[in-house]
Amino acid sequence: MASYASDTTELAGGSASPRYHGISGEVLHIAMVYLITGFVTFLAMGLLGLTMRLHHAGWLTLSPDWFYRIMTIHGAGMVAALLLAAMGGMIAVLNQTVRLSARWLLVAFQIYFMSLAFVLIAVLAGGFAGAWTALDPLPFHGLTWSVWAGVVMFVGFFCIAIGFLIYSLHLFFALRAKFGGVGNALGWPVLFGRKKSGAEGTPRPPELAAMVVAIVGILTGLSGIAVLVPLFADAAGVIAPINALYAKNFQMFFGHALANLSIYLGVGLVYATLPLLTNRPWASSRLVILAWNLVIILVIIPWSHHLYMDLAQPTPIQILGQVASYAIAPPLILVTILGVMTIVFRSGLRWTAPAILFVLGIWGWVFGGMGAVLDSTIAINNVTHNTMWVPAHFHTYYLLGVASFIWGYLFYLISDLGRLKADRFSAWAAWLYGVGAVGFVMMFYLAGAHSIPRRFDIRLPEWHIYAEIAVPFVVLLGLSILWLTIVMARGLKRAWRQTAAES
């Protein structure tokens, strides 16, 4: 178990000396609030995930109604929790070099956090069970819930849209002010050859990532508002039912972008922290800048791969969905993998929990991404659509990718602020996290490859085997997270006091 470090001993996160001490505590304190709220919600949602998998294995029986209610809370809760924690991590990183407003970040958090209450009311009191992507006609026409429950659920989504919009706007203006313009904050002078890479005033990679997320985040928040407001008016009977295809496209854009942006925020945390662990800089080379700039466009256009089965969707948009899904993978993934390999190779990196989680995260991001690209191929999607292949790929890049990045960063931050001494058991726990998560997602993939449907509460006996094998891996995953949580809890009090004292 970790103990506290003196001024000279190595910290559990892998750094020889703390990096986050003495920096504006107020903003850092709020970053911790985001991160810890996200982490606690993730733990609770993980237990709901285990409950569903036990049901799939036939070891626990949930009524159909409760299966779908649990699935709804789990899906919405996980997506929102990881995004929240990633937002918090990015605040902590930016706080080192960019002037941020604690007040605006707190407002964004409060509005975002209200979503949890609305989702719980909709599902637990209202019986809403239409999943986190409830599409027409579900939100307001469920057979087991009334219109008000659908509305309350969507009010929850509205809070996420507004909270994330405020956060993105704040980051956008803060970065624009720091670099004296949007183009500078996106590294255009280097990209177009007016400045050399590394010249003064070039954004560091995490700042670049933050600007990209802020720009797409503003569009995402606005698209959420563009679909939710008419849906509320529709529910109130003020307007005629809105066009289902319009609603579907905007909802899918909103959900797709939120999920993707949490990945990019998580990747930004790796760009910020690996250099501290390896003592090597991660430069904003022209290639890195180009890749991040491309992300702005490439993250926006592939949303329509969620709508291949909608025959009313215009064909060019379907084709765009497939082309864009292929195009998004190479630029950033390749640039990041090359960057990670160059920075880690012969750097003497110690395999502490954050380092292991970051590398696992890259693995999960790549493999989950490959599963997603396969699924976004129209010919393959005809077979894999709504099979377990879908949760397989997104659990891979979420649980092994985004979550590994963020929890690796949280561990690093707490060990830094709480001055936790290095211990080898946390590294073991991080490896076991990888083993548990890989075993768990592999069973989703195998089930998907055998055409077992997703979002099915009914389980035929011959389907049980996949979940029966998955459950022990989930338990292993849970134990590894428990260990990391206990270690972090030991440093948390100090870390919390540290940031509170500097507020």
| Overall residue count recorded for the chain in this entry | 503
Among 131, 138, 245, 479, binds ligand HEM (CB under 6 A): 131
Give SS3 for 280. Answer: coil
Cα 353–Cα 357–Cα 362 angle in degrees, nearest 5: 155
Residue nearest to ligand HEM (CB): 49
Q: Which part of the chain contacts ligand HEM (CB under 6 A), choosing from 119-127, 152-160, 370-378, 397-405?
A: 397-405
Angle between helices 205-235 and 147-179 (to 10 degrees): 150
Which lies closer to ligand HEM via its Cβ, residue 46 or residue 187?
Answer: 46
Which of 110, 206, 239, 241 minimizes the C-alpha distance to 163? 110
**Min separation Cβ 8 and ligand HEM, Å:** 37
C-beta closer to ligand HEM: residue 212 or 399: 399
Binding mask 401-430 for ligand HEM (x = CB under 6 A): --x---------------------------
Side-chain half-sphere CA neighbours of 491 within 13 A: 28
Residues 80-119 that bind ligand HEM (CB under 6 A): 82
Q: Which of 455, 472, 489, 493 binds ligand HEM (CB under 6 A)?
A: 455
- Closer of 132 and 145 to ligand HEM (Cβ): 132
Q: Min. distance of Cβ 344 from ligand HEM in angstroms?
A: 25
Which residues is 349 bridged to in the sheet? none
Query: Euclidean distance between the first and final Cα of the chain, in Å?
Result: 30
To ligand HEM, the closest distance from the beta carbon of 39 in angstroms equals 12
Region of residue 390 (left: phi > 0; alpha: psi -120 to 50; beta: else): alpha
Binding part of the chain for ligand HEM, among 148-156, 167-175, 361-369, 392-400 by CB under 6 A, reads 392-400
Between residues 132 and 412, which has the closer beta carbon with respect to ligand HEM? 132
Placement of tokens 């992300």 in the chain? 295
CB closer to ligand HEM out of 322 and 387: 387
Binding mask 40-59 for ligand HEM (x = CB under 6 A): ------x--xx-xx------
Residue type for position 426: S
At its nearest, how many Å lie between ligand HEM and the CB of residue 219? Answer: 21
Q: Give the span between the Cα atoms of 246 and 377, in whole angstroms.
A: 23
Identify residues 64-83 at the interface with ligand HEM (CB under 6 A): 71, 74-75, 78-79, 82
What span, in angstroms and rounded, lies between the C-alpha atoms of 305 and 373? 10
Distance, in Å, from the CA atom of 360 to the CA atom of 353, rounded to the nearest integer, reads: 10
415 vs 409: CA distance, rounded Å: 10
Cβ at position 375, least distance to ligand HEM in Å: 14
Binding flag, residue 135, ligand HEM (CB under 6 A): no
Choosing from 14, 142, 391, 401, the residue that interacts with ligand HEM (CB under 6 A) is 391
Q: What residues pair up with 420 in beta bridges, in sequence order?
A: 4
Q: Which CB sits closer to ligand HEM, 292 or 394?
A: 394
Cβ-based nearer residue to ligand HEM, 46 or 217: 46
Find tokens 């997603």 and name the residue: 372
CA-to-CA distance for 373 and 359, rounded, in angstroms?
A: 21
What residues are paired with 4 via a beta bridge?
420
Q: Which stretch binds ligand HEM (CB under 6 A): 129-137, 218-226, 230-238, 362-370?
A: 129-137
Q: Could you give the 3-state DSSP secondary structure of residue 453?
A: strand
Instruction: Specify whether the CB–CB gap between 400 and 441 falls below 8 A.
Output: yes
Does 354 contact ligand HEM by CB under 6 A?
A: no
Q: What's the min distance (Å) between Cβ of 464 and ligand HEM?
A: 13
Q: Which is nearer to ligand HEM, 204 or 395 (CB)?
A: 395
| Of 96 and 133, CB closest to ligand HEM | 133
Q: How far is the CB of 440 from ligand HEM (least distance, A)?
A: 6
| Environment class of 88 (CB within 10 Å of its CB; exposed 0-12, middle 13-18, buried 19+) | buried
CA-based angle 435:42:212, to the nearest 5?
95
**Residues touching ligand HEM, count (CB under 6 A):** 22
Q: Which of residues 466-485 bind ligand HEM (CB under 6 A)?
A: 474
In 3-state terms, what secondary structure has residue 4? strand
Sites of contact with ligand HEM (CB under 6 A): 46, 49-50, 52-53, 71, 74-75, 78-79, 82, 131-133, 391, 395, 398-399, 403, 454-455, 474
